[in-house]
Amino acid sequence: MYNIVIARYGEIGVKGKNRYVFENRLIKNIKNNLKEFTKLRVYKDQARIYIDIEDNDYEEIIQQVKKVFGVVSVSPATKLEADYDLLKKSCLEMATEKVEFEGAKTFKVESKRTDKRFKLTSPQMSQDIGGYILSNLGDKLKVDVNNPDFVVYAEMREENAICYVDKFQGYGGLPIGTNGKAMVLLSGGIDSPVAAWLVAKRGVEIEAVHFHSYPFTSERSKEKVKDLARVLARYCGKVTMHSVNLLPIQKNINQNCPQEEMTILSRRFMMRIAQKIAKERNCTALITGESIGQVASQTLESLNVTNAVVDIPVFRPCIAMDKTDIVSLAKDIGTFEISIIPEEDCCTVFLPKNPVIRPKLEKIVGSELKLDVESLINEAIENMESERIEP
């Protein structure tokens, strides 16, 4: 029955002169997410994007298109020649399916007439099509304009006619690639993938840096983070991931600094290293999954002390979110099941028994004087491994 998928976009419609840049990028990103399908044409028409289904499964196409940031909603639809009687028949067919397969009992019709030569106005069209549906299904179906079980959307256009009944929500946001690039500090936990996803949703391309303590942490724990990056890549197209071994630095801290400062000192190294890689890779911001008060290293004092080593913006979209909200988002985007696989993390390797909760910047800076910070950072980056992760 369906032969096209309609993708609607919201915010980018109001971007003035930039609009074409955004639209073209959106089309490119949709095409990229559909590259495994054959014979697909993706095109723009009157502020909407259309995808010809051809021989593909429309439900699979919808799943893919929904993941493209910038898409507000998606509908499977039928495109016909500009013939009003055919349009009515198609509307009836869709209403019949809703009644028979979903047990719908109430409906309304919403019409659009972009072909001004057409004899009926939009309200007249809705009335006429509604009447036609009732004359065929009147024993099972009633009109309810306020809270219908489904809506039949009918459109008479110059070149063709379109009808559909379902509208599936996308995530909105802006197309990836329209707002620069940022580097996420990606752990194997629940929060940082969600943080990356939230920033990516605003059109920001993502690279990731992961810190491990191999061989104290396993090869598997690195793989787990790559799996997380792969889920993110379903939304972002691709994610370049850098893996950095933090163990030499942790050993150095362990030998030279107070044990309770291990976590905060490691976090400062992570931020410095992430910033350095970010600058080399044209990323103009960092992203972390920090959330106020979640653990000792996330008090305001600790956040200030970790933040003090960087001079580019650090985005922390989870900062004010409750864990339950982060978890439900993680489930929705598909990272949760991977995040909860138990694997050791580099932070747990030298975990202090009583980490400082309210660190003083001067004291932490004092401790770092015992370390050769610059060469530790350079060495870590020299030994880093980088890989492009695709969905």
- Residues tagged in the binding site annotation for ATP: 185-186, 210-211, 267, 289, 298
Question: Can residue 278 be called a binding residue for ligand ATP (CB under 6 A)?
Answer: no
Scanning 65-73, 124-132, 294-302, 367-375 for contacts with ligand ATP by CB under 6 A, the matching segment is 294-302
Determine the Cα–Cα distance for residues 72 and 58; give it in Å rounded to an integer: 18
Question: Can residue 90 be called a binding residue for ligand ATP (CB under 6 A)?
Answer: no
Question: Can residue 193 be called a binding residue for Mg ion (CB under 5 A)?
Answer: no
Among 90, 187, 243, 335, binds Mg ion (CB under 5 A): 187
Determine the Cα–Cα distance for residues 309 and 273; give it in Å rounded to an integer: 10
Question: Can residue 294 be called a binding residue for ligand ATP (CB under 6 A)?
Answer: yes
Question: Can residue 210 be called a binding residue for ligand ATP (CB under 6 A)?
Answer: yes
Question: Can residue 289 be called a binding residue for ligand ATP (CB under 6 A)?
Answer: yes
- φ and ψ at residue 276, rounded to 5 degrees: -65, -45
Site mask for ligand ATP (CB under 6 A), range 26-65, x = bound: ----------------------------------------
Question: Can residue 191 be called a binding residue for ligand ATP (CB under 6 A)?
Answer: yes
Scanning 95-103, 130-138, 188-196, 253-261 for contacts with ligand ATP by CB under 6 A, the matching segment is 188-196
The label of the residue with tokens 């009335």 reads 127
Among 176, 183, 346, 364, binds ligand ATP (CB under 6 A): 346
Minimal CB distance residue for ligand ATP: 189
Among 76, 177, 189, 391, binds Mg ion (CB under 5 A): 189
Run of H or E residues at 330 = helix 323-333
Choose the one of Mg ion, ligand ATP, none that binds residue 210, judging by a C-beta under 5 to 8 angstroms depending on kind: ligand ATP
Question: Can residue 271 be called a binding residue for ligand ATP (CB under 6 A)?
Answer: no
What amino acid occupies position 215? Answer: P
Q: Nearest distance from residue 346's CB to ligand ATP, in Å? A: 5
Q: Nearest distance from residue 347's CB to ligand ATP, in Å? A: 5
Choose the one of ligand ATP, Mg ion, none that binds residue 79, judging by a C-beta under 5 to 8 angstroms depending on kind: none
Helices (H), 150-294: 191-200, 219-236, 247-256, 262-280
**Any bridge partners for residue 50, and if so which?**
6, 43
Q: Which is nearer to Mg ion, 76 or 189 (CB)?
A: 189
Determine the Cα–Cα distance for residues 187 and 360; give it in Å rounded to an integer: 26
CA distances from 253 to 118, 247, 309, 358, 378 (A): 77, 10, 17, 19, 16
Residue list 295-334, contact with ligand ATP (CB under 6 A): 295, 297-298
Nearest Cα neighbor of 267 from 317, 212, 299, 307 is 307
Does residue 190 contact residue 338 with C-beta atoms inside 8 Å? Answer: no
Question: Can residue 33 be called a binding residue for Mg ion (CB under 5 A)?
Answer: no
Q: Which is nearer to Mg ion, 78 or 297 (CB)?
A: 297
The two structure tokens encoding residue 177: 């690639």
Determine the Cα–Cα distance for residues 376 and 83; give it in Å rounded to an integer: 72
Q: Which is nearer to ligand ATP, 126 or 245 (CB)?
A: 245
Binding annotation: 185-186, 210-211, 267, 289, 298
In degrees, to the nearest 5, what angle opens at C-alpha 249 toward C-alphas 247 and 254? 90
What is the DSSP secondary-structure string of 23-64? HHHHHHHHHHHTTTSSS--EEEETTEEEEE-TTS-HHHHHHH
Question: Can residue 288 be called a binding residue for ligand ATP (CB under 6 A)?
Answer: yes
Choose the one of Mg ion, ligand ATP, none that binds residue 297, judging by a C-beta under 5 to 8 angstroms depending on kind: ligand ATP
Cis peptide before 359 (omega within 30 of 0): no
Q: Which is nearer to Mg ion, 256 or 294 (CB)?
A: 294
Does residue 271 contact residue 298 with C-beta atoms inside 8 Å? Answer: no
Question: Can residue 290 be called a binding residue for ligand ATP (CB under 6 A)?
Answer: yes
Strand ranges across the sheet with 314-315:
314-315, 286-287, 181-185, 205-212, 239-245, 385-389
Torsion over CA: 124, 127, 129, 135 (sign): negative
Q: Which is nearer to ligand ATP, 148 or 189 (CB)?
A: 189
Q: Nearest distance from residue 196's CB to ligand ATP, in Å? A: 8
Return residues touching Mg ion (CB under 5 A).
187, 189
Return residues touching ligand ATP (CB under 6 A).
185-187, 189-192, 210-211, 270, 288-290, 294-295, 297-298, 345-347
